[in-house]
Each structure stands twice: as structure tokens, then as C-alpha cells.
Structure 1
Amino acid sequence: MKAEIINDRVLAEKKAVNELYNTGYYGRPKSKGLELTLIEAAYLAYRGKIDVEHNGNVLDFPGFFKIASTLHPSFELKYIVYKDLRERGFYVQPGVTDFRVYPRGSHPGKGAAKQFVYVRSERVPMPLKDLLRSLNAAENVRKQMILAIVDEESDITFYEVKRPRIKGGMGDSLYPDINTEATFLEDRVIIWDEDASTALFENGFYGKPLDKQRLQLSLVESRYLMENGVINVRNRQDNVMDSESFTDIASKIEPEFLLKNSVYTDLREKGVVPKTGFKFGSHFRVYAQVESPAKIPHSEYLVHSIPSDHEFRLPVMSRAVRLANSVRKSMLYAVPEDDGIDYIDIGRVKM
């Protein structure tokens, strides 16, 4: 079947509408024939369904592939993903991201596409703003967002990207009637009162006991309790610290303190318990509810705070997601915005 490259598309002769579109849902019917994307045309050329001409010459598959790669950004990556999805039995069409994918048993005209697929190379950093743009596009039409990452050996790893609903069962885990004294030492805060230490640890799972009488708090825990009137913090010279001075010192100790602090506060207000995620390479591990420190449940999430101008290095992201999945947790990225925290859940998925 004859086809011709016209600008960045391939136009196949009219009979292709019946033979390719009506049976396989390739391309879009036009008055002069069937218009195909370069990726669709490459796949059909590979299968021997069309012969593509350019400047009066019929191209073999390598010749067409080379020309197409100069006309379409990331052509070879997208072709690899398109071919993989087609050979898995999915109907695939161009979409507002890279592809729309229909569930097995469905096709254009019979049902709606289920997934939007966005293709990236493992070598190229992925700006957060690009990911959010694609995620918003998928969510606006109630589609599943799939990130397809192609590695250097042309293997594909698929990830689902979504916004999680975070809600815990801790209720009001603040105790303003405590109003106890605490001391900011080198890089943590100590509560000296035994009753206050016990109440905060046993009921809210704050901090970690230094001994049976005293409780040590992390910087973000201290700031949160300080802001809510639960503790009064003094420095080692016994001078009262206000929120501003505490934050200034904490930010010098931990450059990401402000980023982490806003996320910690939001998580606590959602009724969950954030604790350090250092052992997992993230900022927090998060529990939906802790009824007693003596019976700590399985944490549900790993949460890492990132700024709005963050760029994902995909090998690093892949390691984080694999680690989270291997310990039965979801990997969430938390983005502080003017109107709150935007959470993004990234997890591997089978297609």
C-alpha cells in the first residue's frame, strides 16, 4: 500500500482507510486518504503494510526510520514504546501527552481510552513542571497517567503517576495543655518533663525517648509543637527562642528544613504520623495511625519533599520507587505550593 511523507505526517492512499483504520485504528481518515503519524507509519512499514515514498523514492525501513528521526523529537524512543504497546494487544493513538491507550477489548468508537502515556529517556532529566502538565492533562479527562521510561538497552519501565488521598486516623494529636519547657541543643530538642515526654510519645508518637524521663525531638517535630503552643524552646544559654530564631538556626543545620517543615505540618494536619525516612533515603516514612509506640504498624508511604523547580534524575527516581515498592510502601513526592502541598504518587505498574 502506497504512502508518502508530507511534512511531519505520512499520507496513505484511500484504501488504507478501510484496511488500516477500520481494522486496526491506525491514523485519521482524511479526504485524500489516511493520515498517519511518523510513528504509526514506521510500525506499519516494519510490518510490511505500507511502502513509504519520499521525494519520489520508495524508502526501505532503515531509510524511513532515519528520516523520521530527524522530523520528530525523540522519535526512536516513542517508536519503541508504541511498538511494545501494540504488540501487547493495545490500540494506541496519538494523544495530548504522547499516546492514548485503550483497554484490552476496547478500541476507538467502542469505548474511551483509559491511559495517557508519556515517554522519556532514562538519560534526560525530567522537569517536575513537565510531569505535572501531563498529569493535569490526564486527570482533567479522568485518565490514568503512565510514564514510560526507556533505558539505554531499550527496555521500558512503566510507572503510574497519580495524586494520592492522604488521610490518617490520629485526629487531634496536639496537647496545648502540656505547654512544657524544652532545650535546643546542637541539632535536636530535648523535653525534660517526664509527664509531657510520655504524653507526647505515647499519644502522638512524637520524638524518641532519650531515657524513661526525657524525650528528644527532631527539628521539624519541634517547630510544629512550638508553633502550636505545646512546647516552649530555650537555647543552651536558657534564652527563650521564638519561631523565627528557631527556624533560622534549624535552616543552617539542615538546608532543606523549610521544605521539610511545610510538608511535615501538612501531613500532621491530615491526621497521619510522619517520622524520619532516612533509612529509606527519603525525608519521611508515614503511618496512617499509631495507637501505641509498643505496637507500631507498617508505614504506608515514603515521602520526599521537592521544590517546584525540581528536575527528576530518572535513575535516582527509579531507585527510590523500587525501594519503596520492595518494602510495601508508596513513593510520594511532596511539592509545597502557595495554596498547600501537592502530592505525587509514582509507582511501577504492569501493562
Structure 2
Amino acid sequence: MIARLLEDKVELDKDAIDILYNTGYFGRPRGNVLELSLVEAAYLLYREKISITMDSESLSFPEFFKIASMRHRYFELKYIVYKDLKERGFYVQPSVADFRVYPRGGHPGKTPARSYVYVRSERSSVSITELMKSLNTVSNVRKQMILAIVDEESDITFYEVKKISISGQMEQFNDNLNAESSLLEDRVIVWDKKASSDLYNKGFYGKPLDEDRLQLSLIESAYLLEKNLIQIKDRERDKVLDSDYFFNKASEIEPEFSIKYHVYRDMREKGLVPKTGFKFGTHFRLYIDIESPKKIPHSEYLVHAISENHIFILPIMSRAIRLANSVRKRMVFALNYNGNYEYIDIGRVKM
């Protein structure tokens, strides 16, 4: 079958509708012609199902591939992913994402599409704004969002991106402690023995300095200060610090304090127990519930707080996800998006 290369598509005559669309679901019928995307056309040319002409001259596969790569950004990456999915036995169609993929055994007209696939190079970056826009589009039509990342050797890693709702079972601390504590270099010490014991054993805040005293992180201290559970004093002048002063001081000590704190507070308000994720290279490890500090369960999630202007550098994102998987956890990115806290789970998936 002879096809004609136009600007950003390839056209075939009516007979191709029965041969290519009705049997393989390639292209889209438009009246008396079948329109193929450049990626679909390249695949069919490679499989020797069609020949392609431009200005009445027949194009070889290399000639067409080079022309298509100049007319369609990231054409070669999309071709690599398309070919991979087709050779795995999936029906694949162009869509508002790069591709719409049908489940095994399904096809257009028989079953709904399962996934929307977005193709990116490992060298590219993805803004959280772009990611959330795509995720909202996919969520609205109840599809699975897949990022297909193509590395420099043309290997593909597939990541599923989804919103998750997490809630815990940790009860809110209601005791009227107002425990005296001091801000030292970059942490807070609670001096009262009973308050230290209650905060640690009932709320799993901080870590014991000894049998009588408790040390708190800046994040934990700000939250407990906001809840009026502790009173923080300056170590030099013994002056009581209000929440605003402490927040500003903590932000000077830790540049990411504000982003981390607001996510921490949201998780605590949801009954979750966030603890530092430093050993895993992230902000928090997250517990659904802790009955006793002596019986700490496995944490299911690693959580990294990001801003609404965050840019994902894909190799860095990949390392974070790989590390989380290696310790049997899910990698979650948390942010305040349009006034709501969103938790985005990104994990490797097999297609």
C-alpha cells in the first residue's frame, strides 16, 4: 500500500481502512482516507506493510525517519516506545498523551484503554505543574498514567504515577503539657521527665537524650509549639520564643524547613507519624501507626516534600525510586497544590 507523507501525518486511500485499521487499529479513518501518525507510519514502513512517498518520490526507512524526526519533536523516542509496546502485544494509539494503550486481550471498540503513556528522555526534566496537569487529565478519565523514560542506550523504564490518599491511626495528643524546653544549635531539648516520656511514648515525638530528657527535631518542635504542647526558650537569655520567631529561626538553620514543615503538619493531622528519612536520602519515612516505640513497624512510604515550582530531574527521581524499592517502600512526593496537599506515588511498573 502506498502512503503519502504530508506535513505531520501520512495518508492512505480508503482500502487501507479495512486492511490496517479494522484489523490492526492503526491510524484513524477520515472520510475516504486513513490518517497515520508519523510514528505509526514509521512502524508500518519498518514492517514493510506500506511504502511512503513524498512529492511522488519513494522514501526509504532512513529517509522517512530523518524527515519525521525534524517534523515531530522527540520522534525517535516515541518511536522506540511505540515499537516496544507493539512488540509486547499491545494495541497502541496516539492520544492527548503520547499514546493510549489497551490492556492485553483488548482493543479499540472492545475494551476501554488502560493507560496513557507520556514519553520523556532521561536528559529532560519534568515540572510538577506539567506532571499534575497530565495526572489530573488521566485521573478524570480513570486511566493509569505511565511515564516512559528512554535512556541514552534506548532502554525504557516505565513508571506509574498516581495520587494516593494516606491516613493513619495515631490519636492526636490532647494532654496539656506546656513542657519547658530549650532551643540549642539545631534541635530542641525537653527538660521535664514526664513530658519527655509522654511525648515519646504516646506520640512518638523525638528521641530520648537519656532516661529523663527528650531531643526534638526543628520540625517536631514547631508542630508541638503550634499545638501549645511545649514552651521553647532561648538558651542564652532564657526568653520564651513565640511560634513566628521560632519558625523564622528554624528557616535560617534549615533552608527547606518551611516546605517540610507544612507537609509534616498535614501528615500529623491525618493521624500519620513522619520521622526523618535522612538515611534514605529523603525528608521523611512514614508510619501509619505506632503502638509503642518498642515495637516500631515497617514504614511503608518515603515522603519527599516539594514546592509547587519543583522540577523533576529524571535521573535523580529514578535514584530515589530505586532506593525506596530496595528497602521495600513506596516513593511519595508531597506538595501543596492549589490549596490542597497532594501525595504523588511514583514507582516502577512492568508493562
Aligned to 1:160: 160
Aligned to 1:303: 303
Aligned to 1:71: 71
Aligned to 1:83: 83
- 1:169: how far off? 1.0
- 1:126: how far off? 1.2
Residues 77-123 of structure 1 deviation map (CA, whole Å, 9 limit, x = unaligned): 00000000000000001111111100001100001001000000000
Count, aligned residues: 350
- 1:337: how far off? 3.2
Q: 2:335 and 2:347 mapped to 1: Cα distance?
A: 17
Aligned to 2:293: 293
Q: 1:274 and 1:208 mapped to 2: Cα distance?
A: 13
Calculate the aligned-residue CA RMSD, in Å: 0.8
User: SS state of the match for residue 34, structure 2?
Assistant: strand
Aligned to 1:342: 342
Aligned to 1:229: 228
Aligned to 2:282: 282
- 1:341: how far off? 1.4
Provide the TM-score with structure 2 as the length reference.
Answer: 0.98
Q: 1:24 and 1:13 mapped to 2: Cα distance?
A: 16
Aligned to 1:206: 205
Aligned to 1:137: 137
**337-346 or 258-267, which deviates more:** 337-346
* Distance change (3 Å), C-alpha of 1:22 and 1:138: same
Residues 262-296 of structure 1 deviation map (CA, whole Å, 9 limit, x = unaligned): 00000001111000000000000000111101010
1:215 is the counterpart of 2:214: yes
Q: 2:247 and 2:23 mapped to 1: Cα distance?
A: 64
Residues 215-271 of structure 1 deviation map (CA, whole Å, 9 limit, x = unaligned): 000001000000011001111121010011101110010000000000000000111
Aligned to 1:22: 22
Aligned to 1:151: 151
Aligned to 2:183: 184
Contact 1:94 1:100 in 2 (8 A): yes
User: SS state of the match for residue 293, structure 1?
Assistant: coil
Fraction of identical pairs, as percent = 62
Unaligned runs of 5+ in 2: none
User: SS state of the match for residue 294, structure 2?
Assistant: helix
- 1:335: how far off? 1.2
Contact 1:176 1:228 in 2 (8 A): no
Q: 1:300 and 1:263 mapped to 2: Cα distance?
A: 17
Provide the TM-score with structure 1 as the length reference.
Answer: 0.98
- 1:178: how far off? 1.5
Contact 1:250 1:257 in 2 (8 A): yes
Residues 52-75 of structure 1 deviation map (CA, whole Å, 9 limit, x = unaligned): 101111001000000100111110
Aligned to 1:33: 33
Q: 1:294 and 1:84 mapped to 2: Cα distance?
A: 49
- The AA in structure 2 aligned to 1:205 is F
- 1:338: how far off? 4.8
- 1:176: how far off? 3.8
- 1:12: how far off? 1.3
What pairs up with 1:44-59 in 2 under 5 angstroms? Answer: 44-59=44-59
Contact 1:178 1:196 in 2 (8 A): yes
